Chains A and B, each alone.
Chain A
Amino acid sequence: MNFNITALVPELFFLCMVLALMVQSLGSREWKPPVERWLPFGACAAFFVTITGFHLHGTMFWDVYKVDLMSQFFKIVITFGFYVVVLNASRQPTLEEGKRADYYMLLGFSTLGLMLLASSVELITIYLALELASYSMYAVIPLRAKDKGAAEAGIKYIMFGAVATALALYGLSYIMATQHTTYIAELMNKSWSFADQPMAVVGLSLFLGGMFFKLALFPFHFWCPDVYQGASNETAAFVATMPKMGAIVVLCRLAVLLKPGLEITTILAVLGALSMTFGNLSALAQTDIKRLLGFSSVAHAGYIMVGLVSGTPEGIGAAAFYGMAYLVMNLLVFWVVSRVASDGRNLKLTDLNGLYKKAPALAFSLAAGAFALVGLPPTMGFMGKFFLITSAWDHGYNWLVITLVLNSAIAIYYYLSLFRHAFTEEKTPTEVAPPDNGWFASAGAGMLAAAVLVIGMIPAPLFNFAINAGKTLYGITVTFSGGGH
């Protein structure tokens, strides 16, 4: 068994942190310091440890676990997401005092699962990592279980999750039976046309179904709006972003099997198109912000398919970049949502009315987030979308690109209504808790908004990182230039 401990430093660091959380959750309730005091520093340190490990590489555990540029890119994104989620949740009003350490421990385990997922290059390992990431989620979502909606959300998530996982496992068995291997590197050299290997194609489709569930791609998205609505704002911020990174990294790795024109690629393209259209049209009718964001994330899952079907390193790089953009934009919007709903209620669009007056920094950040989600320049949402459509154009899926473009036009309406309510509506709802307008709220929102804008204007370093990551998946040697320029 090959094993290189230095390549695993980010995971090990994270594991230690999660174990510390576990110990604290087992201990007495009055354990000092409270978890919110130390965890943000730990999460921040984990983020920086992962960044410093961006150039690590190596294969271990009988080649099922691979540390490469792709995995490091996503680990950085995931630990960044965890850091923001922890900060965001540190003022969670609906979380009971006694459950705090448990809550963070579950989030931590889920995140660890996602980090492992980023490095898994073998189907069974992927399956195991996925389960590790999912089980904690099953526990976290119904945490607000006194609420009927939360209970429903929890049950929905577990039921859908179980079915999707079962399908994935079933598909895995087909792939093993026909292709006689579960290593992606070996699967790359096999035929994936339906005429040659019908069983394998069916198997892969089923296996992908498990990932689509995590990604909330149509028609595996039914849990998504309900879970967002049922979970607390802070939990929804986690569910909306982090598990999707896991799904995207696996899809990026599996996308090397796909060539434009294969049946399975076309299925992905069709699902992508349906997902965008369905998600956007449904979002048009929503007034609950979290439901709106839920349907919008269905649409975003569709956008990511555009990069995956192109069958090029650029396409995979674009999908990875868009995944990161998606995480940052959504965390930004959820940050604002969590701060505006300072008492933890579910926000309606009208709750945003007059936000520019009450909390200008939050309103401005919300605008940056909403416009990034639309894909307006100069935000990273625009750059992400732009890279996606450039990579997919002329690879046989021009219709998909046109669908994306038209869908962006539909999406304007409901994202603009976030902006419209915050900036142009004057009548504020009465008798609701005012937004949290403290320095912590403003600074967090401002930093995320700055990230959205700055990466939108200077995307080159991160994008090069993503594209090099895409190249490594295809076995193209990347001349190492520090991930930038």
Chain B
Amino acid sequence: MLDFGYPVLTILIAFPLVAACGLFFLRAPQVVRYYTMAVSLIECLLAVPLTGFKLNADFQFVEKIDWVHQWGLQYYLGVDGISILMVLLTIAVLPLCVMCSWTYIGKRVKEFHFCLLFMTSAVLGVFCALDLVLFYVFWEAMLIPMYLLIAVWGGDDRKYASLKFFLYTLAGSTLLLAAIVAFRVTGGTFSIPDLMQMNFSFRFQFWAFLAMALAFAIKVPMFPFHTWLPAAHVQAPSAGSVILAAVLLKMGTYGFLRFCLPLTPAASEYFAPMMIAISIVSILYGGAIALGQTDIKKLVAYSSVGHMGFVTLGIFLFNQRGVEGALFQMLNHGIVTGALFMMIGAVYERSHSREISNNMGLGKYLPAFMFFWGLMALASFGFPGTNGFVGEILVFIGAFEQSTILGMLLVPGALLGAAYMFRVSLKLAWGKPSTAKTWRDLNAREWIYLTIPAVFVFWIGLAPTPFFKIIDPSVNKLLEDFDSRKVAVVEIVQPLQTAAADVLNATAEKE
């Protein structure tokens, strides 16, 4: 059942996990680091066959094996234009994470890298799975390493943060499991592509959407389910924050795109106003709270709430610009916020503080650092020429296409983004330095792991066409399917509604 020479996706998923088991035989921390670095680079090489991705909307590199025949479970993998970018992002983030933890992680180094590799496997599985249960397996499996990353290597308040993260996300996803079972019983299969062809009753979609959306909204996180995120981000070690920001949050929005829109189109349409409202609240709330932070990491964490608000907004606009913008923002946020967290880690290693006031005056003493920070800050609020601009402008266009008022509501959000980023950047660059005089500027390792995201900032910002080519066919197909099936469902619902109205009228007349 392979449309490619060898099972590239399985290898990508399995390799980090298998390699992680090799860590048990290593002892010296430095050897562990080199080993993991090598593994992550090999993983990048293993991803090379993905360049054979054809620019159409089909699922590619498909692998399909019976898993539990009696229950119709399949080991079913494949990627389309929506997921392939996420897969590549995940793979690309891995070596950066290893590099940024090189000196940051001093204790239980082996276990740390094990968690990192385990997590990469699980997240790749999430983006590749085309069977609902397989998706759920990977979705849940990723919780354990992330919990450990926060609970063992985190800051002072790590226990509280890790427990909150675990309970929130697992509580949300248990309902996702109920929805998955409901899909199987109603649709007769767990295969996502097959389910995408089916029309479910509105009543079913209503409940299925709610159950799934709760799980995804917690993961994104959308206001008011976001409270685990700042705690987790602030307490997690740099690499943990990077993975959290770069890929884990994307799993939520990916879920909306992969499940809510194609499987429950009518309910998505029905709940869109609510989702849009929540997204706007997330954007404004995240921005406003970020503006008031004195802790750099908290600031970036709250800014994530705002940025992800743009993504969910784009998704629930249901127009091409909106969804494309959402996908771009998913990618951009991964790159930019990931880089910001790595830099926060770098500066923390120097000052042992995340307070803005303890890290000022870097413009003079750490110019290279400040260059990268400035670049990422600009990209973060969508300065033209950077990748953030491409994504944000698309969401803006999409919002204005929908309604002028909606578009206008986004403007303060964008302004807030600029405000908090300028505020923190100005202070970091030109604030009165405390001990920064003695710090060294970026070392070679830091140069490498910051240059790579910087390249992508400019690449996507200046020449986004290749990325459009990858995502466009899938987005078009998603929206076409959405429109046609939404109508099909409306046709079922409308006669029922008229009938109900008739009955009501008749009762009213009798009375």
Cα A416 to Cα B138 with chains together (Å): 19
Q: How far is the CA of A310 from the CA of B361 in the complex (A)?
A: 68
Contacts of B70 in A (CB 8 A): 314, 460, 463-464, 467
| Total number of A residues with any Cβ neighbor in B under 8 Å | 32
- A412 touches B (CB below 8 Å): yes
Complex CA distance for A454 and B137, rounded to whole angstroms: 14
| Per-residue B-contact encoding for A393-433, CB less than 8 Å = 1, 0 else | 11000000110011011001100100010011000000000
Q: How far is the CA of A465 from the CA of B163 in the complex (A)?
A: 38
Contacts known (A377-B136, A377-B140); A389 close to B177, Cβ less than 8 A: yes
Which A residues touch B69, using CB under 8 A?
Answer: 460, 464, 485
Query: Are A378 and B141 in contact, CB atoms less than 8 angstroms apart?
Result: yes
Choose among B143, B163, B182 the residue that contacts A420 (Cβ–Cβ < 8 A): B163
Instruction: Report how far A423 CA is from B143 CA in the complex, Å.
Output: 15
Alpha-carbon gap, A409 to B159, bound state (A): 19
Give Cα A408 to B175, complex, Å.
10
Least Cβ–Cβ distance between B179 and chain A, in angstroms: 10
Contacts of B263 in A (CB 8 A): none
Max count, chain A CB within 10 A of own CB: residue among B69, B70, B166 = B70
A196 to B63, CA, bound (A): 54
Q: Residue A459 at the B interface, CB < 8 A? A: yes
Question: Min CB distance, B35 to chain A, in Å?
Answer: 19
Q: Does B171 contact A (CB under 8 A)?
A: yes
Instruction: Decide yes or no whether A371 CB sits under 8 A from chain B.
Output: yes
Interfacial chain B residues near A406, Cβ < 8 Å: 174
> What chain A residues lie within 8 Å of B152 (beta carbons)?
423-424
Q: For A314, what are the chain B residues with a Cβ–Cβ distance below 8 Å?
A: 70
CB distance from B437 to the nearest CB of A (A): 36
Knowing A387-B71, A412-B171, A416-B166, the reply to whether A405 touches B178 (Cβ < 8 A) is yes
Q: Is the C-beta of B26 less than 8 angstroms from some C-beta in chain A?
A: no
Q: Are A405 and B175 in contact (CB under 8 A)?
A: yes
With A390-B71, A394-B185, A409-B171 known as contacts, the answer to whether A424 contacts B151 (CB < 8 A) is yes
Main SS at interface, chain A: helix
B163 touching A416, Cβ below 8 Å: yes
Contacts of B137 in A (CB 8 A): 377-378, 382
* Distance, CA A416 to CA B164, complexed state (A): 12
Closest residue to A314 on the B side, CB-wise? B70
B177 with A420: CB separation less than 8 A:
no
A408–B174 touching, CB < 8 Å: yes
Interface residues of A in 227-281 (CB under 8 A from B): none
Chain A residues with CB under 8 A of B133: 386
Within 8 A of A (CB), among B141-177: 141, 143-144, 147-148, 151-152, 158-159, 162-163, 166-167, 170-171, 174-175, 177
Please tell me if A22 contacts chain B, counting CB pairs below 8 Å.
Answer: no
The interface size of chain B toward A, counting residues with CB under 8 Å, comes to 35
> Is A376 on the interface with B (CB-CB < 8 A)?
yes
Q: Mark A450-485, 1 if CB is under 8 A from B, else 0.
A: 000000000110011001000000000000000001
Q: Closest residue to A425 on the B side, CB-wise?
A: B159
Rounded to whole Å, the gap between the CB of A69 and the closest CB of chain B is 14
Question: Does any Cβ of A come within 8 Å of B506's Cβ?
Answer: no
Contacts A386-B133, A387-B71, A389-B178 given; does A376 touch B171 at CB 8 Å:
no
Contacts of A383 in B (CB 8 A): 68
Chain B 26-39 per-residue mask, 1 if CB under 8 angstroms from chain A, else 0: 00000000000000
CB-CB under 8 A for A413 and B167, given A377-B140, A382-B137, A424-B152: yes
Select the residue from B144, B162, B174 with max chain A CB neighbours within 10 A.
B174
Chain B, residues 49-77, CB within 8 Å of chain A (1/0): the string is 00000000000000000111111000000
CA distance A412 to B151 in the complex (A): 16
Q: Name the interface residues of A83-132: CB closer than 8 Å to any CB of B.
A: none
Chain A nearest CB from B26 CB (Å) reads: 14
Q: Which residues of A contact B171 (CB under 8 A)?
A: 409, 412
Name the distance in Å between B71's Cβ and chain A's nearest Cβ: 6
Partner of B185, one of A393, A402, A408, A409: A393
**Residues of B close to A467: CB separation below 8 A:** 70
Whether B490 sits at the interface, judged by CB under 8 Å, is no
Which chain B positions have C-beta within 8 A of A420? 151, 159, 163
CB within 8 Å of A: which B387-433 residues:
none
A29 vs B174: C-alpha distance in the bound complex, in angstroms? 55
Check A393–B159 contact: CB distance below 8 A: no
- What's the nearest-Cβ distance from chain A to residue B237, in Å? 14
Q: Which residues of B contact A464 (CB under 8 A)?
A: 69-70
Are A424's CB and B170's CB within 8 A?
no
Counting chain A CB atoms within 10 Å of each CB, the highest count among B68, B138, B141, B166 belongs to B68
B residues in contact with A424, CB < 8 Å:
148, 151-152, 158-159, 162
30 inter-chain pairs at a CB distance below 8 angstroms, sorted by A residue, are: A376-B141, A376-B170, A377-B137, A377-B140, A378-B137, A383-B68, A386-B181, A387-B71, A393-B181, A393-B182, A393-B184, A393-B185, A394-B185, A401-B178, A402-B178, A409-B167, A409-B170, A409-B174, A412-B170, A416-B147, A416-B163, A420-B163, A423-B151, A424-B148, A424-B151, A459-B68, A460-B68, A463-B68, A463-B71, A464-B70
B-binding residues in A (CB < 8 A): 314, 367, 371, 376-378, 382-383, 386-387, 389-390, 393-394, 401-402, 405-406, 408-409, 412-413, 416, 420, 423-424, 459-460, 463-464, 467, 485
Closest 8 pairs between A and B when the two form their complex, measured CB to CB:
A377-B137, A424-B151, A409-B171, A394-B185, A460-B68, A409-B174, A405-B174, A393-B185
Besides A420-B159, A424-B152, A424-B159, 5 more A-B contacts (Cβ < 8 Å) are A376-B144, A378-B137, A408-B174, A409-B170, A463-B71
